Amino acid sequence: MSGRDYFGDNILTGLGTTRRTFLKGLALAATAASAGTAMSGCGGYPEVPVGLKFLDEKGYAVISTFADRIIPRGGPYDLGALDAGVVEFFDEFAATDYPEAQKDFKSVITLLEHGAPMLDFKFKRFTQMTTDERDEYLRGWESGKLVLLRGAFVGLKKLCFMGFYTNEKVWPHIGYDGSWV
């Protein structure tokens, strides 16, 4: 099932807005709304490791922070997302996706980082929130009323799990010996 089939052409019933238009508008509004509140925290993102093809400093920080909350170290397994190369997996996946999907990834990253003032009345960037604030914010994405946010959350979460479970470093922790073929 394609994303278009899943979300439909009009995810905001009755508003005549497509998924892409809504995402762009929300990301733009989030960036504008957070511009004033984030000025004290502008920049400050860590450098991107050498070899990444898609993620810039902000994208790397946002996806790292998201992945670390989805699959933290010391959770069900000793390894966490950051130990298993989930961010690098995401970067490779996004870099090889088609251009429209890449724009959507950029929009979701921007919205996740700067959307808190609009979506959750928190006047911090996602990467500057405490762990508890991040978890609360992500629960809003996961179970909120906006289908688009739930879909974006599920998509990012699935990519994190895909990157985690396909990494051979994780296999001994889950009792998987690898392919027989």
Query: What is the model's pLDDT at position 142?
Result: 96
Measure the CA–CA gap between 62 and 45, rounded to whole angstroms: 9
pLDDT at 117 over 70: yes
Q: Where are the domains of the chain?
A: 27-32+52-170
Measure the CA–CA gap between 17 and 161, rounded to whole angstroms: 30
Helix ranges restricted to H, the chain: 3-7, 19-37, 57-70, 86-95, 99-114, 116-119, 131-143, 147-165, 171-174
Measure the CA–CA gap between 86 and 126, rounded to whole angstroms: 18
For residues 64-78, average pLDDT: 94
Both tokens assigned to 131: 């762990």
Q: Residues near 124 by Cβ (< 8 Å), separated by ≥ 6? A: 37, 38, 41, 116, 133
Q: Residues near 78 by Cβ (< 8 Å), separated by ≥ 6? A: 173
Query: What is the model's pLDDT at position 120?
Result: 72
Answer whether 0.85 is exceeded by the pTM: no
What is the chain's mean pLDDT, rounded? 84
Query: What is the model's pLDDT at position 76?
Result: 87
For residues 15-19, average pLDDT: 58
Measure the CA–CA gap between 140 and 135, rounded to whole angstroms: 9
User: Which range is least confidently modeled, 5-14, 89-98, 111-120, 132-141?
Assistant: 5-14
Measure the CA–CA gap between 126 and 8, rounded to whole angstroms: 28
